[in-house]
Amino acid sequence: MSRLRRCSDRSTAPTSTSCGVLRPLRSVIIRVRPRVHIGLLSMHAGAPRMNGGIGFSVEAPLARLDISAADRTAICDSRPVPMGADEQAQLIKGISHFADMHKIVQGVHIEITGAMRTHVGMGSATALRLGSIEGLAKLNGLQLPRDALIKASGRGGTSGIGINSYFEGGMICDLGRAADGARHAPSSIVLSAHSPLALPMIEMPPWPILLCIPRAIVPKSQIEEIAFFSRTAPLPAPASFKACYIALFGIYAAVRERNYTAFCDGIDAMQDTDWKRAERAEYGDTLAGVSTVLRANGADCVGMSSLGPMLFCFAPAQRMAALVAAAHVLDCDSYLTVPANQGREVIYNDA
């Protein structure tokens, strides 16, 4: 009979049989959490560090990866809203590249379930890529450090939020990576030799959150996201200075001191920074209208995650019912959740 064992980033993996190698597993289950990306920070030319950002992990909606050995690598995305064919091909390519690096000849079958949405601002591309390669490593008895998994994933070239929240949850403030003359671009096409540098993770208080995805807004494709970066960056230096100040002295400090009012003020202030204002403008009056109605129904602050179109809002628990009802009237998919102060969960099925 197989044995199921659960662990998180702070737990120990199954016993090693030799240096860096574990006993192979029958299957692995990895549950990954979404993240909210509040904003990018250093987006001007000539800076010593570029990109950076601030964001936090949330408890739901989760995605579950059931990973087992197979003759060939295949992905079955059974979520209500699965990834597109191009995204699935990119994920398989990343898994195959990792297998080649570590001379893994056996294929892998990955079934993805759960309600985590793709390409709306939840960070699913990073979470699923890291979950897939970490699961493949564990399935084949490879004990790889966190930095090696991040590097192998090819993610984090623009923002270090998702690659860190995957492992530890909480609030992450990323100081970007050393500028190397490369242009500003989304993580999907950035491969950098320099890893982003994050400040220490701080735990988020259990403040209620509503995630809200307007069905009337079509999410940006990868091509559209690349085009947005090309026409928007670089920004004037003062725009970056403002965003950095809000992130550090407003949002990060407020979480550290558990000051809800200051935190909401920081979220609202970030919406008026040059980069976030340009991101929100991509969706025009439709997104602005949703934000206005959420405010009118009791939200203390409303932000947009990444390039959207997912909005997130904070309010006391007693006001959340009204916000959920408003989101329904606005024809939005909504998810009531709270911040997560832990990363992915791994369940080992011993062979």
**What is the SS3 assignment for the chain?**
CCCEEEECCCCCCCCEEECCEECCEEEEEEEECCEEEEEEEECECCCCEEEEEEEEEECCCCEEEEEEEECCCEEEECCCCCCCHHHHHHHHHHHHHHHHHCCCCCEEEEEEEECCCCCCCCCHHHHHHHHHHHHHHHHCCECCCHHHHHHHHCCCCCCCHHHHHHHHCCEEEECCEECCCCCCCCHHHCCCCCCCCECCCECCCCCCEEEEEECCCCCCCHHHHHHHHHHHCCECHHHHHHHHHHHHHHHHHHHHCCCHHHHHHHHHHHHCCHHHHHHHHCCHHHHHHHHHHHHHCCCCEEEECCCCCCEEEECCHHHHHHHHHHHHHCCEEEEEECECCCCCEEEEEEC
- Checking if the pLDDT of 314 tops 80, the result is yes
Q: Assess whether 51 and 172 both reside in one domain.
A: yes
Q: Assess whether 167 and 274 both reside in one domain.
A: no
pLDDT of the residue at 349: 76
Q: Are 287 and 298 in contact (CB under 8 A)?
A: no
Q: Assess whether 249 and 103 both reside in one domain.
A: no
Mean pLDDT, range 237-244, rounded to an integer: 98
Q: Assess whether 185 and 224 both reside in one domain.
A: no
Place of tokens 């009056």: 285
pLDDT in tens, 81-136: 999 898 999 999 999 999 999 999 989 999 999 999 999 999 999 999 999 999 99
Per-chain mean pLDDT for the chain = 90
Q: Assess whether 196 and 329 both reside in one domain.
A: no
Mean pLDDT, range 160-167, rounded to an integer: 94
Torsion of CA 280, 284, 285, 289, to 10 degrees: -20
pLDDT of the residue at 351: 55
pLDDT of the residue at 12: 38
Q: Assess whether 188 and 263 both reside in one domain.
A: no
- Checking if the pLDDT of 16 tops 50, the result is no
- Checking if the pLDDT of 17 tops 90, the result is no
Cis ω before 234 (30° cut-off from 0): yes
Mean pLDDT, range 48-52, rounded to an integer: 91
Q: Assess whether 257 and 301 both reside in one domain.
A: yes
Domain count, the chain: 2
Q: Assess whether 61 and 23 both reside in one domain.
A: yes
CATH number of the domain where residue 80 is located: 3.30.230.10
Q: Nearest-CA neighbor of 252 among 338, 171, 196?
A: 171
pLDDT of the residue at 178: 87
- Checking if the pLDDT of 256 tops 60, the result is yes
Q: Assess whether 160 and 218 both reside in one domain.
A: no
Q: Assess whether 146 and 12 both reside in one domain.
A: yes
Q: Assess whether 228 and 81 both reside in one domain.
A: no
Residue ranges making up the domain that contains 10:
4-203+340-350
CATH number of the domain where residue 226 is located: 3.30.70.890
Q: Assess whether 344 and 333 both reside in one domain.
A: no
Distance CA 112, CA 63 (A): 7
* Axis crossing angle, helix 146-153 with helix 124-139, rounded to the nearest 10: 120
How many CB atoms are closer than 10 A to CB 9?
14
pLDDT in tens, 174-201: 999 888 877 786 666 666 566 788 999 9
Q: Which residues face 301 on adjacent strands?
A: 314
pLDDT of the residue at 182: 78
